[in-house]
Structure 1
Amino acid sequence: MEQNPLSLYELNALVRQSVRLSMPDAYWVQAELSDVRTNYSGHCYVEFVQKDPRSNALLAKARGIIWSNVFCNLKPYFERETGQAFVAGLKVLVKVTVDFHELYGYSLTVSDIDPTYTLGDMARRRKEILRRLEEEGVLTLNKELELPELAQRIAVISSPTAAGYGDFCDQLERNAFGFAFYTKLFPAIMQGEQVEASIIRALDRINAEHGRWDVVVIIRGGGAASDLSGFDTYELATNCAQFPLPILTGIGHERDDTVIDAVAHTRVKTPTAAAEFLINHLRKTAERLEGYASFFAQEVPDWLNRQKERLERWVARIPARVQMRIQNEGFRQERLMKRIHLAWQTRLMRETYCLQLESRISIALQSRLTRESQHLRLLEQQVKSASPDLLLARGYSITLKDGKAVTDASALRPGDEVVTRVAKGTFKSKVSK
């Protein structure tokens, strides 16, 4: 057994000395920012990560610090040059020195940054997922759902051991307004590689009985941004965007932002804030209902009184109006009877005239018939007097040549044969001269 063992502090001091001796230079390092915090002194504490590009699993992680005298110049310079805020999700190229502290362990001290390095894989992946959802037309589907007025039946997706879940339930149960909320936990893994599949399974269980719930709440306590990578996947985002119930997210702290926060109906900072949102939503509904009740309590009696007074005025006016109506109807009946009497007299005169006209027409027809009969007799006499037979009976004859009457002797030639018709018979002749 070693007679003079080292204390932990002494061991860490040796490590610190070794690190300084073996790595005295500054190094340019590519890494992704997964957490960025600034304290009251202006020092910026960051967390650097490196991930497997295929599985998105963490390969390396290191704490970093940017002292205030460097950060006050580095941050505005970086944001001015890149147009990006210095936040988690950026992939950066930083100049660091390696340090080891007896109490705080291994860390990297940042002295410079290259602003030409662009957005990190985290931010680019989120941007690509959101662009794909927008192209598919599902990005805002969940946001377009209407949050029920009485959102009291809440399906919660969280880890059963998460402090955030306990804070959420405690906030709902102890709300100052005495509202009743009915919650049910659908357990899911909220950190690590199984986040996506676990939350999707929980959503499927809720969807199987979605008629029992008004809203879905996905909550998780705070932590480093690198622990939230499971919430930045396409499959989880598309499931949330197309879910038939409004989804509230309370994941991490205010500085954390995930893809499902972007597609959810409402995004709040923390689990406690999610509870406050639901309480305030129900409070606004209660205030509207109380306003309606107050309105009915005050306005309905006044309205009934006004309607009663209006009805009484109408009732008081009924006798006079009835009398006036009867009088008007009497006048109307008189006018109608006069019009009917006059119409019947006019009709009688027209019918009488028509009957007289028939008699006159009969007399006129009879007179016309007599005249026409006389005219026919005259015509008959004229026809008879113009008949050739009558002329032949008086001694006249008709000479015909080729069936035509001869009226001009010069038209005949010697040798022509003619037929002469007399009253009784005919005879033929030949012209000699």
Structure 2
Amino acid sequence: MEKEFITLYELQSGLKEGIERLYPSRLWLKAEISALKARPGGHCYMELSQSDDSGIVAKAQAVIWSSRYRFIAPYFESVTGSPLREGMLVLIQVQVNFSQLYGLSLVVNDIDPDFSTGEQERLKRETLERLRREGLADMQKGLGMPAIPYRIAVISAPDAAGYRDFMRHLHENEYGFVFHTDLFPALMQGSGSPSSIMDALDRVASAQDPYEVVAILRGGGAKLDLACYDDYDLAAHIAQFPIPVLTAIGHDQDSHAADLVAYGSVKTPTALADELVSLYASEDSRLLSYTSRLKLSFSGRLYREESRLQKLLTGISRAFSRKISDMEGHLSVLEARITASDPANILKKGYVLAVDSAGTVIKGVRDRRPGDRVGILMKDGRLDCTVDSVSRLPFRVQADEPGPGGGLHGEYAAMD
């Protein structure tokens, strides 16, 4: 028995009729541009795709004829600030065509630029809501950053103008402050950017010498080019990173999820370099002010101590002078007494001294005997005499010191 069959052409013709009946007119289609090839002045060929958690679930080829592409492309870029590129989610108006020879194709008649910008805002909003719901939004804000960070890990594209601007402003600052920077290269735009930046962050975290701060730099770009910075996985990775992250992705009209969860963010890499330099300048100014106050305080203390010391020295000098004056007066009195007690001076006044044969002054007659030899010292000589007799006086003479008139004084007392 012969098997029934149809020809390939008949199959393709049936498919063509069915598709044209199902989609007789243009329709709006949401898809991601997974591949794009455009020639200047020519046609633009695209591969459209749709993905879910399991991966790509649908693909189709599309074309924008040159007659439409030369209007669609510049208008899209003027509204979104970004040219059509791979990885972009778009809303396109297509005519579904089916050719028996070439199969299914989509002819693009228009692209809605507002959808692409709105889609990015939706992604950002959903990312931020999820981060807040999971308690990740403010984790970076709780970290402590050094007052003057020295070791800085830089995540950027090595050939990016923003990276060069950052390095020049940081290392050639007018104050001569010194920073240590290491570059961790990464893709900074496109669908592969989030995973590339996360990989760079992981390399920073595992570095042998720890860093004090991380700078993520992207030197400007169209708004849609920065959609990767609203990616949830990247934002969550930054939020939970153990080192303060500073972002400068170069968009001056809006902030992205990565900016909002980071420890801090500025608009441009140059502004971030200036901010880091200003931290050093502020600390330097604070230290100079503290040093100045310390010098003033020390100078004031030194002046007061010098004044106190001078007063002490003046007091000591005066007291010493008084002490010397008192001692000089006392010495003068002693000298006068000694002078008055000098035997030579006593002899000059007409008194005499009696000495024994050994030259010892005879102070009394107690031990004298008749026949003893004594010497009588006078102011101009000596008399050698022999004691004929010994008699005692009815009073006792105190001869230890001169009297008021320079002579000897005595008192009457009963004799032994």
Higher helix share: 1
TM-score computed with the length of structure 2 as normaliser? 0.48
TM-score computed with the length of structure 1 as normaliser? 0.46
